Amino acid sequence: MKNCHVCNQLCDDNAELCPICGADISGDGEVKEEVTKEEEKIEPVLLTTFEDLVSAEIFKDVLTDNKIPYSDSEDAMKVVFGGGFSAEEIYVDKTDFDKARELLEEFLASSVSFDEEFDGEIEDI
């Protein structure tokens, strides 16, 4: 058995994804020795909640590129007041929270830029 690095769930040795949080636990085939509770205690904290699921997926790629493990909510879509669908919660380990928060602020401050200027005319299709 091996532990998930995100939620600390015990998983089968041959599992590639954690059955609880979906994190990649395939590693390089090396099974970690059991660590004591003091050595490596994972403490997931809520980083953010995205209403836009596309933005959530893009931001998860940003976290992955920066080697920050994350876990997202199992119920990615929830029905909200008015019949809309929304909300994906993203959790990170407490030790990665500050760096992840910095990346989130940069991500939210970024805007889409176009190579060509928009002339204001819209084509009818």
Report pLDDT digits (tens) over 50-64. Answer: 887 788 888 999 999
Residues 51 and 106 grouped into a single domain: yes
Residues 91 and 65 grouped into a single domain: yes
Residues 69 and 96 grouped into a single domain: yes
Is it the case that residue 46 has pLDDT exceeding 50?
Answer: yes
Domain enclosing residue 32, as ranges:
1-41
Residue matched to tokens 């003091």: 38
Residues 57 and 92 grouped into a single domain: yes
The number of distinct structural domains making up the chain is: 2
Report if residue 117 sits inside a domain: no
Report if residue 99 sits inside a domain: yes
Report if residue 48 sits inside a domain: yes
**CA distances in angstroms from 81 to 49, 84, 87, listed in the order given:** 16, 7, 12
Q: Residues near 14 by Cβ (< 8 Å), separated by ≥ 6?
A: none
The model scores a pTM over 0.85? no
